[in-house]
Amino acid sequence: WSFLTRPYWSRVWIIQELCVAREILLVCGDQTAPWSVLRAQLADFRKESLLDGGPSYSIEDFGQFVPYNLVSLMERYREKEVGLGSLLSFTSQAQATDPRDRVYSLLGLVTDGSADDIVPNYTLSPCEVYCSAMRAIAKNILQREGSEGEGVAKCTEISRRCSHRPLDKSVSQRKDYDGMRCDAWWCCIDMA
């Protein structure tokens, strides 16, 4: 259990490393194990947690359990298109030293074109990055659904909750917003 709760698992950059890897070998100290062993143990852990008399972990704890979420994301990534909004929502609990990497670290995993307009630029503030992610997600929804789609209305409604206008490229005040205080971060997650 302690191996699976190490800070390593909360890093956003490992998501790309694990999703694109052909083979994964876990190494901890002098111990090694193939990814398939961890995957099987996580499946057993989930079954055990759901049964009476299982370990004293709640299902809510399990939902925040990063390694299990990684397994689910890896399977999804290999089976179907993955959009930036879905990735941001799926990885919202992941940590990054630089808050801009919460978006930039996922760009290589986006397969539906929703991140095509985003180029990593570390001169932008975190808020500017989150706002550009929100615009990219909204643009993708508009292209996919047309202007009358449910997703477009949702994007518009969500953007109204922001203390600034994340869908408007011309707003200069967003430089004043930083990291997690930027409403656009939470809006990106809601747009998935």
| CA pair distance 183, 147, nearest whole angstrom | 24
The answer to whether residues 76 and 99 belong to one domain is no
In the predicted model, is pLDDT for residue 61 greater than 60?
no
pLDDT above 70 covers what percent of the chain?
61
Q: pLDDT: is 186 or 99 the higher one?
A: 99
10 Å CB burial of residue 147 (0-12, 13-18, 19+) is exposed
Residues 34, 65, 80, CA angle at the centre, nearest 5°?
A: 70
Q: pLDDT: is 4 or 163 the higher one?
A: 4
The answer to whether residues 61 and 112 belong to one domain is no
| CA pair distance 192, 178, nearest whole angstrom | 22
In the predicted model, is pLDDT for residue 90 greater than 50?
yes
Backbone angles phi, psi at 32, to 5 degrees: -135, 155
Residues 135, 125, 140, CA angle at the centre, nearest 5°?
A: 15
Q: Which of 118, 112, 169, 116 is nearest to 144 (CA)?
A: 112
The answer to whether residues 51 and 107 belong to one domain is no
Q: What does pTM read for this prediction?
A: 0.74
Amino acid making up residue 75: E
- Full residue range of the structural domain in which residue 66 is found: 1-80
Contact 175/125 with Cβ under 8 angstroms? yes
DSSP character at residue 108? G
The answer to whether residues 190 and 106 belong to one domain is yes
The answer to whether residues 127 and 90 belong to one domain is yes
**How many structural domains are present in the chain?**
2
The answer to whether residues 53 and 105 belong to one domain is no
* Cα 149–chain centre separation: 24
**Whole-number pLDDT of residue 22:** 86
The answer to whether residues 49 and 129 belong to one domain is no
The answer to whether residues 151 and 67 belong to one domain is no
The answer to whether residues 116 and 66 belong to one domain is no
10 Å CB burial of residue 158 (0-12, 13-18, 19+) is buried
Domain boundary, last residue among 54, 80, 106: 80
Domain boundary, last residue among 80, 95, 114: 80
**Whole-number pLDDT of residue 79:** 72
